[in-house]
Amino acid sequence: MADSPIQRTYRAACPGCGAAVEFRSLASTHAVCGFCQSTIVRDGDALQRIGKMSEVFDDYSPLQILSQGKINNVGFTVVGRLQYKYREGSWSEWLCALDDGSTASLSEDNGSFIWSKAASTQRVLPKPQQWVLGNTTAINGRAYSVASIQEVALMSAQGELPKLPPIGTSFPVVELRSAQGEVISIDYSTEPPSLSSGTSIVLDNLQLTGLRDLTNKTGQGGKEVKGRHFNCPNCGSAVSVKLETSKSITCGSCNSLIDVSQGIGGELSHAIQDEPVKPLIPMGSVGTLQGKSWQIVGFQHRMGQEIGDEDESFGWSEYLLYNAKAGFQFLVDAEDGWSLVKPATGAPEVKTSRLVTYQGSSFTQQYAYKAETNYVAGEFYWRVERGQKTYNEDYASGKLVLSREQSAGSSGKEVTWSIGSKIEASTVISAFKLKGQEAKFDRADVAPVSFNGGTGMGIMGWIVVLVIIFILLSMMSRCSSNCDPQRENCSSSYRSSGGSYGGYSSGGGHK
């Protein structure tokens, strides 16, 4: 890709080590030397060293400094990177210098990408503490839902930077989402706060060149790494962290759930899991769904209680799937069938208390319930805790499923919407090569039949159906919250395939 004639490159020696430091974007005010990690501020043609930056946290991102691409027929070059963290995870913002002289940000969070540019508004923005999670607000005449209110901190940076918040110092970030899939991020590290507006984008559509080579010997994708190793704080057995972005992992020997969000150099917190649950699909299995290769890297079993009916409980399982380019999505196993879902970028438009619209479809609320994680296996890109509680709502539109999940308690600062569709058990069996195990995967995922006679069943046929339903309901009513999730999904009421559909959106959203 040829350099734009209107774009000037400024080069000077690093005040720290003397290596060449380049500024390709006129909007860049800071840079991090790639050799000595010196943080440099530009004042005209002079460079001044103001400190040293922590090295970036290595991950599976295919992007790197000097990667080039094209959007809307305008070329761009990746010139910088900011890495942020918050309690549940982290994310990166890649600064892009466009050939027309403007700049944009490509926000990356676990395989999902948001292309955004600086925005402005005439209204006076509320203080961070005045925002209410889940409420609707208006920005420049468009309705947005308050999706996330987080305290974040700059973790590290590299390349050219349009801004440089104090490293390690937390500041509020509020994220708004619209029914059209737009994301507005409000950054309170400046006064007045700065805004950016963006939409989800597929990396393959950016015609990128100069990407990192992430292909490993299995062809699954991901770096050839030996992994991070440490001893389990409960039993002392060796534990290996394979995914660089993992924040939680379980010990393969004693099933303890270990928090690795703060690194593995210090004391590790853990929770003992006494009742191991055996996933139907083995951890590490690789299967093909929707034309992509997915590996199962995490598993959690969750229990739910319908709002207003605390005596009744039900359960379901979620498999965390990973693909190097497509990121993460979830395979959900509930008693009425299987679903393949992923976090949504936007937020549906609420029409009534039980009706929302999203991407041209109307969804009706099926269930509202409290959920709690009671068993975890594998690795997760957010901090999974046993006993983690959320408030969930499930919506449906034919085979499409939509879920709203809000974190509970003092950490309840994020609302995650997820979208997906039902899939047949036979599709799951075929994808993961589990032929011969059909009985284990069979669910109540048969399409409902009509009473208009179209099925050809007579009165006696319907009597048989009603008797079977009565027997099934009687059997299900015997299950309580004390059931064994290793043998069953612990369901005491028939319900749709609910679940978190993606857990937390990790790092200010950016999903």
The two tokens of residue 154 are 């700059």
- Domain ranges across the chain: 10-206, 228-439
Does residue 335 carry a pLDDT above 90? no
| pLDDT in the model for residue 247 | 75
| pLDDT in the model for residue 503 | 39
Half-sphere exposure of 79 (CA within 13 A, CB side): 26
* Rounded average pLDDT over 2-26: 61
Q: For the chain, what is the mean pLDDT?
A: 77
426-485 pLDDT per residue, tens = 999 999 999 888 888 888 644 333 333 333 444 554 454 454 445 444 444 434 444 444
* Rounded average pLDDT over 385-412: 84
68-98 pLDDT per residue, tens = 999 999 999 999 888 888 877 778 899 999 9
* H or E stretch covering 74: strand 74-86
Does residue 321 carry a pLDDT above 80? yes
In the block, tokens 């539109």 appear at 397
* Class of residue 136 by CB neighbours under 10 A (exposed 0-12, middle 13-18, buried 19+): middle
User: Binning pLDDT at 50, 70 and 90, where does residue 404 land?
Assistant: very high
17-70 pLDDT per residue, tens = 766 667 666 666 667 776 676 665 656 555 555 455 555 555 667 889 899 999
Question: What is the DSSP secondary structure assignment for residue 209, as one 8-state letter?
Answer: B
Range scoring the smallest mean pLDDT among 201-205, 408-412, 429-433: 408-412
| pLDDT in the model for residue 370 | 93
Measured between alpha carbons, how far is 278 from 256 in angstroms, rounded to an integer?
Answer: 14
Measured between alpha carbons, how far is 425 from 156 in angstroms, rounded to an integer?
Answer: 44
Measured between alpha carbons, how far is 249 from 243 in angstroms, rounded to an integer?
Answer: 10
Does residue 488 carry a pLDDT above 50? no
Taking CA atoms, 86 is separated from 19, 32, 125, 252, 402, in Å, by 33, 22, 22, 27, 26
